[in-house]
Amino acid sequence: MSCIHPTAIIHDSAQLGENVQIGAFSIVGPDVEIGDGCVLMEHVHVNCNTIMGRENTIHPFTALGGEPQDRKFHGERTVLRLGDRNDIREHVTMHRGTGNGGGETVIGSDCLVMVGSHVAHDCIIGDHVTIANQVMLAGHVIMGDGSAIGGGAGVHHYATIGRLAFVGGMARVARDVPPFVIVEGHPAEVRAVNTIGLVRAGVDGNDIDQLKACFKRLFRDAAPAKDRLPDLRAAHTDTPIVLELCDAIEAAGDGTHGRAREAVRRDDRWSRTR
């Protein structure tokens, strides 16, 4: 049985699942779907066109499903989608997508998004992602499964943070972050293999050793990393995790300014309606 505080405002078109809790002074707008077992604490605002899975917890003063901060947005119908069991902390903002970006902002399942972070339009966040306090994700950012980003970091639009990668706090991420590595600094640079994250994710120890050996060749030798890829692929044909790392580095190199997704963006980056 759902528990709705009498001061909460629920739009007639909103759909609530079973055992939903909505706290005092919260607002649920039109065309919102909230799955079974979700908890919206006091002063939560779910604007509109937001689809939420099961057992999400939304803390006070969070704003979900707002209009994107993008001059190319002209009121088209777009959505924000959340998976299951996410913990969204205080003062987080997540905006809907844009027509230019595919129309959806997507949050996976089992994510922790900490206080004051912003997830902009058309971002795609995987499962088991951790976003620390005051992180700023620009539009069209992708974060792979199991990736994490430290407090106060800023990520450039169209950048990709690879699977099980870790971005240090206060970093400025202007290029793609390869999977399985740690990046830090301003601008962010690759520092090491994310051994702790890989172990926690249950990655095989031999695969981690292979990644460490490849890391030395890719990021510590004088030659550009991209020049090393053919030899590494040939030597590790039976190690998918190494091939995944190689593919990500190659894609970033083929993109614009080190961002693979810039090569497939739909708009004119020089347009005055950015």
Q: Show which residues are catalytic.
A: 121-122, 139
- CA–CA gap between residue 162 and residue 18 (Å, rounded): 35
- CA–CA gap between residue 20 and residue 35 (Å, rounded): 8
| Residue 46 Cα distances to 41, 200, 231, angstroms | 11, 33, 50
Collapsed DSSP state (helix, strand, coil) of residue 259: strand
Peptide bond before 187: cis, by omega within 30 degrees of 0? yes
Q: Judging by DSSP bridges, how do beta strands 181-185 and 188-193 pair with one another?
A: antiparallel
Amino acid letter, residue 61: F
Gyration radius (Cα) of the chain, Å: 20
